[in-house]
Structure 1
Amino acid sequence: MAVFRVEKTKDYTVMANHHLRNTEISLKAKGLLSLMLSLPDNWDYTTKGLSCICKDGIDSINATIKELETSGYLIRRRIRNDKGQLTTTEYTIFEKPQKLDTTDVPPKRENPILDNPMLEKPILETPIVEKPKQGEPILGNPHQLSTNTLITDLLNKEGLSIHPSNPYPSSTEPKKKMGYDEIGCNSANEVKELVLKNIEYEYIKHDHNCDQLNEIVDLMVETLCSTKDVINVSGDDYPAQLVKEKLLRINSLHIGYVFECLKKTTTYIRNIKRYLLATLFNAPSTIDNYYSALVKHDFYGAD
């Protein structure tokens, strides 16, 4: 078994064995701490200075110093000057780990006391402004004024407004004349009521097809409300007043005549509206002759 002997010389260091027997720190930390304990008190303990006497670099030494600081063998404290500025770092090395408060105490700064000077409030004087005298305006072109007066009089005589926002005459426009005005009605509803009364609608609606009867009523109301001066019937133009007078003469017998004509018609009717209007227009004039011809036919037969 090998035996190691230690021969000490006079140049040696006396230190505690605590860190050498501490199993919680690395061998590298034990060696660096032993080296730092062997140095004199006035040694400049900087990482750069330690790297000069060791084989390890600055990064390796910094990592080892942090390990010793964590274990409590080393305390670093930042030194500030009177102005509170950081100047240097102070290292305190212990042979046994210490539990000390390493929190840096921030420097105290006195708040300067600012004087509050009294400012005098200036007195503002109100300036006196003289009111300027305004003279009467002098018209440089009096003839133009007389021209405007003539134009105004002319517009008033013609009933036109001189204001640009209302360019229309002040007099109200005449109400547009409607077709039912000629027959003494005020609205289309009154015209329809008049037609229904003339043809005795409530009595004949059970004798005829209601849809066809309503179409005939609507056609009569539409024609009576027309504003045209001329109304075309069977290709011929008739005065609107004549057509309306004949339609107002239509009664229940004429409606029956129209339905009978529709029933006996065998030809194709292309425009049923024109056919109905022509039948209604001719009904007051032809109904008597039509029924007289039927009576003669029944008594005497066909010639």
Structure 2
Amino acid sequence: MYAEHPFGSILLQQIQTEGYRLNYYIFSFLQQVSLFGTEENGGLQSLLSLKGGLQFGFKGRAAQTLAEGQFTLLDARTADTETIVPGGRECHLINTYYTGSGYEEWLPHFPALKKALRDKGRKPRFLLPSPRPARHTLLDAVQEVLQEQYQPELQRIFWEMKVRQALFTQLAQAYTEPDNAPATQLELQMAERAQAIIMQDISRHYPNDQLARMVGWSESSLKRAFQKVYGSGLYEYLRTARMERARELLLRGEQVKTVAPTVGMRPSNFTMEFQKYFGYKATSLRKGTR
């Protein structure tokens, strides 16, 4: 399917079987565009950014920024979604839905995923705290799906193998990384102390060793515990907090020159970091537009 308008275009290619539905999107817009939709699915959803990067989220909740070459996993229950596509560059996204038959046999090997999917009382959500950089094996499998051509029946078998391989690679990367054991009570306590210090004043950046001394723990132990509890490094967490706060202030109508120092950055560095993080310019935000 293809749609074109003076402001840009969308190309969608779809592969659908009983086990999965793969949507390959190519977006090209002159300005930033927000696309709203309602998804009615069950099971797992995988998002993989091949080019350009964008944001994806559920209505009324914070979106995840999916940079080029990153993937994330979602609990794909019925939900209103928003896809925020930056302007001025081409973006390629693979959005795949897997039915139970596509992954249930693997669940015993990924207990954390099994528990999350068993929890039927929760709303649609991201299964990963933040996107992960895709391994080369995942990107290679996707490229083969898009490029290799066989006779129709062989093509179907080939796609089935490669799509399952792509999902397995994502699950293995997300749920079998080193030190994937749950955080202990001490790790939780120390990570929360560090998080409170970071959020008390996001305009300040404490080096990891200083932050560790402030909470009374070793630097290596604190870094490991913080990653377990919050799914990111100490500075990565601060950077995310700064960018989200900056976006909130800009939407209120504040100017870049006042927002930047509020989040501890110079205006020249801030504009570059903001665009790198969100995929669009800070100056493109106006009060009440989003």
| TM-score normalised by structure 2 residue count | 0.20
Higher relative contact order (CA 8 A, sep 6+): 2
Report the structure, 1 or 2, having the larger strand content. 2
| TM-score normalised by structure 1 residue count | 0.20
